[in-house]
Structure 1
Amino acid sequence: MKSVAKPMGSPPPQRLAGIYLKLTLTALFWGGTFPAGRVVAETLPPFTAAFGRYALASLGLVALLLWREGGLKSLTRPQQINVWLLGLTGILGYNAFFFWGLQTTSAGRAALIITTNPVLIAVGAALWWGERLTPLRILGMGLAVSGAALGIAHGQPTVLVRQAWQFHDLILLGCVVSWTLYTLLNRPLVAQLTPLATATWACLAGTLLLFPLMLAEVIGHGRPAIPLLTWACLAYLALLGTVVALYWYAAAIQVLGPARSAIFISLVPVIAVLLSALFLGESLNPGLFAAGLGVAVGIYLTNQPR
């Protein structure tokens, strides 16, 4: 299994710079999903919110695929199984936990829990795909994750220890596990298909899996009234937080592999806290900028040659 879908070796520096820029923008878009998701979660139940996001995103991805590649190609049986697993983990699983957790916790607190994602993905990639965890890469991951966590904790490490874990925190850990599995399962498929096709198939599969759960919520609670702000946040979640972000993330995994791509997720909490302060009035601390520097150095070290 470890011989499947190895990332390309030594891409040209100009191409690497483009990939790093897209991953940074992906982190920016994903950072914005926390305040946007918080707004949506206050209006819609979790499966309805997730279905709305990915139904819109599926339309966008299919349109983009028709324009760029002429349409969807047929899949082999193993590819079909992989696509359904991507939909189950990265679309249904992640978003169910995401919107459910955001109903009862702050966007900043949710972002803190997501800081564990790059570490879990790196360990999973080492065990599953045989990616090397060099001392420099471990140091880089430690700096990135620590910087993100301390920024959210207002520069006070004891805050992380003193804060009691609640049930909604465990729900958000489901996001971490779901996204780790999605990233690891993404690698073999993106080597056989294009990144855009992989993202499109995953999104379509996840949307189909979400449909009966959304229907059950609507039958049980009635069709919700959706304010204009919620529609705007859903559009953001669908277009930038899904269509663009999933496409660029899959393209990065194809070249860099799971661990080096996932380390950019460490930027997400810092961005999420900043945007939550700007748009939701959540607390902001001066240590956030030092935390961002720590994350940037960690990303740089993680992506150095082995």
Structure 2
Amino acid sequence: MTTREGTSAAPAATAPPVSPGKRAALWLGPLLAGVATLVWSGNFVIARALSDDIAPVQTAFWRWTIALLTLAPFAAKGLWVHRAAIRGHARYIALVGLLGMTLFNTLIYIAGRTTSATNLALIAAASPVLIAVFAALGGERISPLRAAGMLLALVGVVALVAKGSLAVLLGMDFAVGDLWMIAAMGTFAGYSALLKRRPKEIPPVVFLAATVLFGLVMLVPAQAVSLYTEGGFTPTGGNLGALAYIGVASSALAFFVWNKAVEMIGATRAGVVYYLQPVCVAALAHLAIGEGSTVAQFACMGLIIAGVALSSARR
């Protein structure tokens, strides 16, 4: 088409089309992150219950042993086929295994011995912020819309933990376990940020199995020291069932879908979904033990959900 002056009119600018694969990732990525968050919500409850029964290092060791056995049928052949790539990226895989497997959960179990569940939840609320900071340092862009959603969700989490009372928040007692929990959140943030650099030639399930294997090997010396100084634990139906849950569901399943979510939507957007953990815990508590919720709690949960939705929006 030409104008009256005879010059060609520039076509209207249009947004680039979104491929079907990318369109699917926009909703599948947050969904996978939500599944991991839901499973980990049950893990926090169980970890707290095991704190007086099994030593923290031993809990972590058996957790990842069970996880590795769970992954073995799906990844053993791949570990052998891709052994050259694994060896070539050994330093990176070892660092990811150290942060995500050796340290993260061990630090949470240690923290659970000397601080309250409320403090653990409050400190965990900082995890998505740390993930965003680490991801930004790695070159991932954080839009103003996403930052606003993170802030809204963070306000909702803090208000939920503090029961909507500033006096409760200011009156909380902090213990040495809180420092362990802060360290745990730092390791998880580093782990999540590093996932974007996963070698593409290594399949996801093989990569997870390799990181678990590296992390478990690094736990062996601490396991030996713990057995020598603290002794083992007496197996019961309760603690064996709990170990099975955190080994299969919270480790093999949850870490696999979390890794996939980070690969699809980035560490920052996946991290924002992690804010839903208090909402998941409240839902599980209501379904499992009939624990009620107040209007203020529902309002806080609404803020969290709104913040996550805002941060997950494409534009």
TM-score between both structures, scaled by the size of structure 2: 0.85
In the alignment, structure 1 segments of 5+ residues that lack a partner are: 1-8
Partner residue, 2:255: 246
Partner residue, 2:192: 183
Partner residue, 1:110: 120
Partner residue, 2:269: 260
Residue 204 (1) aligns with residue 213 (2): yes
* CA distance 1:191–1:293, shift in 2 (3 Å): farther
Amino acid of the structure 1 residue aligned with 2:115: T
* CA distance 1:103–1:284, shift in 2 (3 Å): farther
1:162 Cα deviation from its structure 2 partner: 2.6
1:164 Cα deviation from its structure 2 partner: 3.0
Query: Does the CA-based 8 Å contact 2:152-2:303 persist in structure 1?
Result: yes
Query: Does the CA-based 8 Å contact 2:86-2:202 persist in structure 1?
Result: no
SS at match of 1:265: helix
Partner residue, 2:66: 56
Query: Does the CA-based 8 Å contact 1:86-1:202 persist in structure 2?
Result: yes
1:221-270 alpha-carbon deviations (Å, 9 max, x no partner): 22221321111111111111111111111111111111111111111233
Report sequence identity in percent: 27
SS at match of 1:56: helix
1:104 Cα deviation from its structure 2 partner: 2.3
* Higher radius of gyration, 1 or 2: 2
Partner residue, 1:17: 27
Query: Does the CA-based 8 Å contact 2:29-2:262 persist in structure 1?
Result: no
1:267-299 alpha-carbon deviations (Å, 9 max, x no partner): 123323554677689996543332222222111
Q: 2:55 aligns with which of 45, 50, 58?
A: 45
2: CA distance between counterparts of 1:77 and 1:227? Answer: 39
1:100-157 alpha-carbon deviations (Å, 9 max, x no partner): 01112333431221110111111111122x2222211110101112212211211224
1:209-229 alpha-carbon deviations (Å, 9 max, x no partner): 112211111112222213211
* CA distance 1:229–1:280, shift in 2 (3 Å): farther
* CA distance 1:290–1:62, shift in 2 (3 Å): farther
Question: What pairs with 1:58-137 in structure 2 (closer than 5 Å)?
Answer: 58-66=68-76, 73-74=82-83, 75-128=85-138, 130-137=139-146
1:51 Cα deviation from its structure 2 partner: 0.2
2: CA distance between counterparts of 1:216 and 1:198? Answer: 28
Residue 220 (1) aligns with residue 229 (2): yes
Residue 229 (1) aligns with residue 261 (2): no
Query: Does the CA-based 8 Å contact 2:30-2:312 persist in structure 1?
Result: no
1:16 Cα deviation from its structure 2 partner: 3.1
Judge which range, 115-124 or 141-150, deviates more. 141-150
TM-score between both structures, scaled by the size of structure 1: 0.88
2: CA distance between counterparts of 1:279 and 1:16? Answer: 32
1:65 Cα deviation from its structure 2 partner: 2.5
1:173 Cα deviation from its structure 2 partner: 0.5
1: CA distance between counterparts of 2:177 and 2:236? Answer: 26
The root-mean-square deviation of aligned C-alpha atoms, in Å, is: 2.4
Partner residue, 1:271: 280
2: CA distance between counterparts of 1:281 and 1:225? Answer: 30
Residue 33 (1) aligns with residue 43 (2): yes
How many pairs were matched up? 296
Partner residue, 1:162: 171
* CA distance 1:72–1:177, shift in 2 (3 Å): farther
* CA distance 1:12–1:158, shift in 2 (3 Å): same
* CA distance 1:101–1:278, shift in 2 (3 Å): farther
Judge which range, 278-287 or 293-302, deviates more. 278-287
SS at match of 2:198: helix
2: CA distance between counterparts of 1:106 and 1:277? Answer: 20
Amino acid of the structure 2 residue aligned with 1:59: L
Query: Does the CA-based 8 Å contact 1:152-1:288 persist in structure 2?
Result: no
SS at match of 1:236: helix
Amino acid of the structure 2 residue aligned with 1:166: A
Partner residue, 2:183: 174
Amino acid of the structure 2 residue aligned with 1:174: A
1:94 Cα deviation from its structure 2 partner: 0.7
1:170 Cα deviation from its structure 2 partner: 1.1
